[in-house]
Amino acid sequence: MAVVADPFGEQEETVRSPVHGIVIGRLNLPMVHAGDAMFNIASLDEASDVEGTLEVLDNFLSPEGGPNYEEPDL
């Protein structure tokens, strides 16, 4: 998922996820500390749940099916 290195690039360590899933968030800061969450991963119990979950996310994020962000008439 990522490579973490010291400021001088002398030591690098590969970051791998302990679970399979969908990345739903990530840290945008260039510096991390031990224990910081670099990614938020939605993991599912069954592989068959992935298709339905992706469809829900796609509908939510699409302009047609997403939340209504228009300001109400006053």
Give the model's pLDDT for residue 1.
84
Residues 6+ apart with CB under 8 A from 11: 5
Q: How far is CA 35 from CA 38, 43, 46, 56, 71, in A?
A: 9, 19, 28, 31, 40
What is the value of pTM for the model shown? 0.54
Residues 6+ apart with CB under 8 A from 12: 3, 4, 5
Which segments in the chain show pLDDT lower than 70?
Answer: 47-49, 63-74
